[in-house]
């Protein structure tokens, strides 16, 4: 069963209540290639009360988190083996508190010999199996026909709802997949029962949040959101077949970690499981990544550092700055050459073709062309043709 889900960076994390048949499961796991290792955690003791089991499992899951077994590895499968209802309930509660199964690439496979109808009473276990990438294998070894049925809980379903059987295992046929030839189906693509989500968000420059009176809502207020993130939430609701309603954090903060490890603001609501989704945008950092799951990037924001400019100062010789001294020298030499040519050229022409003009006008025209300036001729200086007289006398 586990061999069908291995990948290049696979590792296993085994948690058991110390029973004898958990040892045989561990032997089978060691035969499966797991290049990133196998971690084994076992609760010792003959009797497993709920408080004792929860305390032990909380320590185990915290140790797994501190060793970065889940956050640093890409493909982790958590295997839980137990027939003790208290152990399964305590594991479900501690896994949520420690966010052991938060990352979607982390898979949970629980083995138990408890009957399926008995598991309906374990509400914490049903919550874990329905809201994570999890399966439960119910093993029947009471008869000669040894078999196991593998079930997947419908997301956000009631504990009394019928799970989906995705595979069966028998001695003769081995593992037979019943659902789209996938052991871990993509059950979060679209919800069949249209669940209701509680979403928290708040205002920012491109989003407006209003509160109107509504006696049917908690606190007598209904939160209305208008903006691009609400448009995205509407698309997600239609695509995944769900409904949602908004709530706001009482302190109107986005989320900050306190010195005692707790969180306030919208992220505090998410960590305490008072809401299902926190609608950002939130900054992605390692502190948040250790306990919350981010969606894909919806937008990218570029941060820049600004500084005030200095006051402009007028430089009378600023017109010399665009060109280097060598270029200015070449321009002056070219200008002198053109002026000299225009002054000397008329003297070499025949006397009949020479035109009496002012030398300063020729010099001005050369400078005018260099600076790309226009020329305006006054009407008083225009040369008019001589008049023509018609008639006798």
pLDDT at 47: 46
Helix axes 85-98, 50-66, angle to 10 degrees: 40
CA-to-CA distance for 150 and 184, rounded, in angstroms?
Answer: 10
Mean pLDDT in order along the chain per 10 residues (393 residues): 64 74 67 65 58 63 56 70 84 74 76 83 82 86 78 84 86 80 80 88 87 80 88 91 91 87 88 86 78 76 83 76 84 87 76 61 77 65 51 46
Sign of the C-alpha dihedral computed for residues 249, 127, 66 and 297 taken in this order = negative
Radius of gyration of the chain (CA): 41
Tokens of 187: 């059950």
CA-to-CA distance for 246 and 184, rounded, in angstroms?
Answer: 31
pLDDT at 358: 61
Q: What are phi and psi of 39, to 5 degrees?
A: -105, 135
Instruction: Answer for the pair 13, 41: CB distance below 8 angstroms, yes or no.
Output: yes
pLDDT at 35: 58
pLDDT at 234: 92
Complete domains list, the chain, with CATH:
2-177 (3.40.50.2300), 196-289 (3.40.190.10)
CA-to-CA distance for 198 and 276, rounded, in angstroms?
Answer: 5
pLDDT at 85: 84
Q: pTM, whole model, 2 decimals?
A: 0.62
pLDDT at 302: 79
Q: What is the three-state SS of the chain?
A: CHHHHCCCCEEEEEEECCCHHHHHHHHHHHCCCCCCCEEEEECCCCCCCHHHHHHHHHHHHHHHHHCCCCCCCCEEEEEEECCCHHHHHHHHHHHHHHCCCCCCCCEEEEEECCCHHHHCCCHHHHHHHHHCCEEEEEEECCCCCCEEEEEECCCCCCCCCCCEEEEEEECCCEEEECCCCCCCCCCCCCCCCCCEEEEECCCECCEEEEEEECCCCHHHEEEEEEEHHHHHHHHHHHHHCCEEEEECCCCCCCCEECCCCCEEHHHHHHHCCCCCEECCCCCCCHHHHCCCCCCCCCCCCCCCCCCCCCCCCCCCCHHHCCCCHHHHHHHHHHHHHHHHHHHHHHHHCCHHHCCCCCHHHHHHHHHHHHCCCCCCCCHHHCCCCCCCCCCCC
Instruction: Answer for the pair 138, 118: CB distance below 8 angstroms, yes or no.
Output: no
CA-to-CA distance for 90 and 51, rounded, in angstroms?
Answer: 8
């Amino acid at each position: 069963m586990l061999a069908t889900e291995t990948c290049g960076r696979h590792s296993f994390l085994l948690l058991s209540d110390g029973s004898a048949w958990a040892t045989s499961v561990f032997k089978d796991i060691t035969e499966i290639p797991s290049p990133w290792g196998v971690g084994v955690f076992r609760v010792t003791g003959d009797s497993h009360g709920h408080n004792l089991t929860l305390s032990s499992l909380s320590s185990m899951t915290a140790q797994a988190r501190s060793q970065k077994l889940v956050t640093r590895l890409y493909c982790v499968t958590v295997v839980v083996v137990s027939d003790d209802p208290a152990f399964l309930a305590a594991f479900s509660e501690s896994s949520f508190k420690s966010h052991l199964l938060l990352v979607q690439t982390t898979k949970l496979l629980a083995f138990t010999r408890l009957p399926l109808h008995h598991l309906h009473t374990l509400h914490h276990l049903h919550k874990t199996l329905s809201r994570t990438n999890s399966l439960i294998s119910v093993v029947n070894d009471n008869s000669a026909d040894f078999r196991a049925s593998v079930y997947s809980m419908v997301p956000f379903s009631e504990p009394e709802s019928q799970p989906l059987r995705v595979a069966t295992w028998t001695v003769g046929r081995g593992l037979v997949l019943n659902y789209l030839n996938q052991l871990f189906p993509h059950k979060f693509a679209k919800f069949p029962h249209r669940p209701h989500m509680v979403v928290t968000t708040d205002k920012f420059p491109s989003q407006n949040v209003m509160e109107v009176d509504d006696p049917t809502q908690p606190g007598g207020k209904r939160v209305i959101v208008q903006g691009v993130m609400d448009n995205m939430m509407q698309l997600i609701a239609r695509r995944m077949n769900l409904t949602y309603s908004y709530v706001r954090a009482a302190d109107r903060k986005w989320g900050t970690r306190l010195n005692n490890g707790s969180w306030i603001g919208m992220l505090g609501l998410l960590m305490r499981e008072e809401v299902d989704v926190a609608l950002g945008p939130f900054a992605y950092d390692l502190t948040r990544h250790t306990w919350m799951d981010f969606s894909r990037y919806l937008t990218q924001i570029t941060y820049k550092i600004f500084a005030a400019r200095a006051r402009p100062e007028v430089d009378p010789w600023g017109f010399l700055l665009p060109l280097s001294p060598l270029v200015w020298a070449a321009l002056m030499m070219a200008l002198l050459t053109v002026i000299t040519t225009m002054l000397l050229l008329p003297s070499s022409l025949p006397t009949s073709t020479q035109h009496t003009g002012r030398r300063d006008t020729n010099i001005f025209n050369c400078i005018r062309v260099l600076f790309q300036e226009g020329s305006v001729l006054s009407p008083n200086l225009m040369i008019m043709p001589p008049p023509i007289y018609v008639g006798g006398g």
